[in-house]
Structure 1
Amino acid sequence: MDKEESPIFVVGMPRSGTTLISAMLTSHPNIAISPETHFLSEWIRRYRRLDVRREKDFNKFWGRFGDSSFFRNLQLDAETVRNQILSSGDHDYKDIFSTILKLYAEKKNKRRWGEKTPTHYAHIHQLLEWHPESRIVYMVRDPRAVVASRLDMSEKYPLSWWHPRTVEDISFQWRNSINILNYWANDNRIYPIIYEKLIQDTLSELRRLCGFIGEEYSLSMLSYTEVAKDLVANDPWKESVFKPIIADSIDKWRLKLLTDEISTIEYVSRKGMNQFMYQMVGKPHGFFKKFRLNIANTIRIVKMKLIKRTSLL
C-alpha cells in the first residue's frame, strides 16, 4: 500500500467523537486530517449539475467554494490551490477534493492526507470509488449521548447548529448511520471505533487504529490539544476536545435526558444498541407510542426518497 495514496477519512454521527479522533490522528507525525469541508455532502450535492471540467462551470464552483468558510478554515491560498487544480488537466470533483487535501497536508509537512466530515458516512461509496486504497475511520457513540449532546448544541448555538434538532430525528439518523456501517461490514477498509472504548482505554484503541491505517503508533497522538485548534476552527461546539479525557463523562446523558426521551431513543435505536452492547435503561413505550414512531419513520423514509428522486430530475 502506497501510504501517500491511502488517505484517511473520518466519518460518523455528529457529536460522536469525530473531532477527538481526528485531532489524535493529526497529532501523528505523518498524518494531516483537514477540518470539515462537507465537500460531498453539501458542495457536490448543491452543484451536481455543473461539469467542473469546463472552465465556466469550474469558475462558478470555485468562486463559491473558494470563498466559503469551509475553505477559509483550511488556511490555504485560494489562487494557489486553483492554479494547482487547473494544472492537473482533467479537473473533476475528485481532483478538486484531493488537491485541496494534499496541499493542506503539504502545508502541515505531513505525507499522509485525509479529511473529517462526519456526514460523509453517507458517501463512503464515493470516497472508495475515488480512492480505493483509502482507510475510513467510522466513529460510533451511544445514541443517548449523541442525542443529549446535540440537543445541548441546538440550545446553545441555535443559529449555527443546523443538524436535526429533535429526539426522534436524531435517533432515526443514528439508526441510519449504523445501517450504513453494517452495509460496509465486510469491507476491511472501514474501521469502526467505539467512542466509549476510546475514552476508557485510549492507548489500546490508538494502537489498534494505527495497525489499521498502517502507521507506527506515536506517543504524540496523546498530545492532541494543540493541533485541535485547526480542527475546531470557528465552531465553538467542538471545544470540548481541549478538555482532558474523563471516563465519567460517558454517562452524562443520564442527567440531561427526560425519561420519555430515553425510551424513544432506545426504541428507535434498539437494534444498533444491542449490536454495540449499549444497555437499555428506559421504560418501554406502549403500543400507541411505538405505532406513532413507526408511522413517523415511514413518512420520513418516503420524504427522503421523494427528495432524492426530485434532486435527480
Structure 2
Amino acid sequence: MKNNSIKARVFLVGCPRSGTTLLQSMLAAHPKIISFPESKFFQRAINPDSFRSKFGLVSTRARANFNQFFADINRKEMQQLLPNKSPLIHQHSQAFIKALDLIAIQQNKSCWLEKTPAHLHRINYIEKLVNNAKFIHIIRNGIDVVSSLYSVSSQYPEIWNGAWNIDKCIQRWLNDIHISNLYSEQYNHSIVKYEALIENPQLELEKLCKFIEIYFDKQMICDRHTVTKDIIRKNEEWKSSVSKEIQNSKQKKFYNLFDANQRKYILNKISVTPNKYRIIL
C-alpha cells in the first residue's frame, strides 16, 4: 500500500565541501527516504538582492531550472504542475513541493530529502514557503573545507565560476558557519559535525532519525553506495569520492596545498569562529 502523506520535508544544507553528499547518501539509503540530485530550486528562484524577490516575484531563470531539474530525474511530467506564465515565488514553490511529495508517495516513501548546500542562504524563505520544513546542517572544520574549496575550484573552474583564492574560500566557510550557528538552537534545525559522522556514523544517524521522526535502519550505512546514481549527476565528477570508504582526511590536503605562511594565515582567519567549531591540530 502506498503512503498518502509526507511525514517530513527535509533540507540538507551547509558550506560546500563539508560532506553534504556523503550524509545525503546515508540518509537516502533509508527505506523511507527519497532524495535527488541538487535541485538548486530556491537558490535559482529567489535572488534576495533583486527587486523581484522583494515583491514576491520569482527570478527570470526559475522556470528553466524547474524544468531542467525534473528532466534530469526523468520526471518531465512534473513540469506541468507549474502554472503557465506564473510570476510568483509561492506558486513556483507550491509546484516544486507538490512534485516532490508526489514522487515520494508514488515510491512509497514517507520523507524526502532535498540537498542543495546553498539553500543555507535561503532558509528564511524556505521556512515561509514550505510547511513543516526541517533542516539538517552539516559542519566540517575550516582547515579541510578551505583546502577542498581551493582544490576543487581550481580543478573545475568552469563549474565554480573560476578558481577561488584563499580568502574567498575562508570567507565562504566563515559566512556559512555563522548562518548555521544562528539556527543551532531552533527546534526544526539539527546540526551534525562531519568529524563526528566519520567517527561514529551510526550514533549520528540515530540522532538524525530521531530528529526526522523515523526509525533508524542500518541500510543507511551498509547500502549508501547503492543510491549515489540517484543523487549525483554524471557530470559531477568532484563528488565521486562519496562512493569510496569513509576516511578522515586528517588535514592531509591542507599540508599538501599550502606552505607554512599560508597555513598560518588560514588558521588565524578561521580562529574567530565559536569555540565549538574550532579545530585543534
TM-score, normalised with respect to structure 2: 0.85
Give the structure 2 partner of residue 65 of structure 1: 65
Gaps of at least 5 residues in structure 2 are none
TM-superposed deviation, 1:26 = 0.8
TM-superposed deviation, 1:75 = 2.2
Going from structure 1 to structure 2, the CA distance change for 1:60 and 1:212 (only over 3 Å counts) comes to closer
Q: Distance in 1 between matches of 2:33 and 2:123?
A: 20
Give the structure 2 partner of residue 49 of structure 1: 52
Q: Which digits, 9 at most, give the CA deviation of each residue in 1:142-175, with x for residues without a partner? A: 1111111122212222222237711111111111
Going from structure 1 to structure 2, the CA distance change for 1:273 and 1:147 (only over 3 Å counts) comes to farther
Q: Distance in 1 between matches of 2:107 and 2:166?
A: 39
Residue identity in the other structure for 1:9: F
Does 1:7 pair with 2:6? no
Q: Distance in 2 between matches of 1:67 and 1:48?
A: 24
Going from structure 1 to structure 2, the CA distance change for 1:211 and 1:171 (only over 3 Å counts) comes to same
Going from structure 1 to structure 2, the CA distance change for 1:24 and 1:163 (only over 3 Å counts) comes to farther
Does 1:129 pair with 2:128? yes
Of residues 258-267 and 206-215 in structure 1, the stretch that sits farther from structure 2 once superposed is 258-267
Rg larger for: 1
The percent identity for this pair of structures is 27
Q: Distance in 1 between matches of 2:250 and 2:71?
A: 33
TM-superposed deviation, 1:176 = 0.9
TM-superposed deviation, 1:263 = 2.1
Give the structure 2 partner of residue 228 of structure 1: 228
Going from structure 1 to structure 2, the CA distance change for 1:191 and 1:3 (only over 3 Å counts) comes to farther
The answer on whether the counterparts of 1:140 and 1:193 sit within 8 Å (CA) in structure 2 is yes
Does 1:119 pair with 2:121? no
Give the structure 1 partner of residue 78 of structure 2: 81
TM-score, normalised with respect to structure 1: 0.77
Higher-helix-fraction structure: 1
Residue identity in the other structure for 1:243: K
The answer on whether the counterparts of 1:167 and 1:264 sit within 8 Å (CA) in structure 2 is no
Q: Distance in 2 between matches of 1:200 and 1:43?
A: 37
1:158 counterpart SS class: coil
Q: How do residues 203-282 of structure 1 correspond to structure 2 at under 5 angstroms?
A: 203-222=202-221, 223-233=223-233, 234-247=235-248, 249-252=249-252, 253-272=254-273, 274-279=275-280, 281=281
Q: Distance in 2 between matches of 1:67 and 1:132?
A: 23
Q: Distance in 2 between matches of 1:75 and 1:96?
A: 17
The answer on whether the counterparts of 2:143 and 2:251 sit within 8 Å (CA) in structure 1 is no
TM-superposed deviation, 1:179 = 1.3
TM-superposed deviation, 1:33 = 2.1
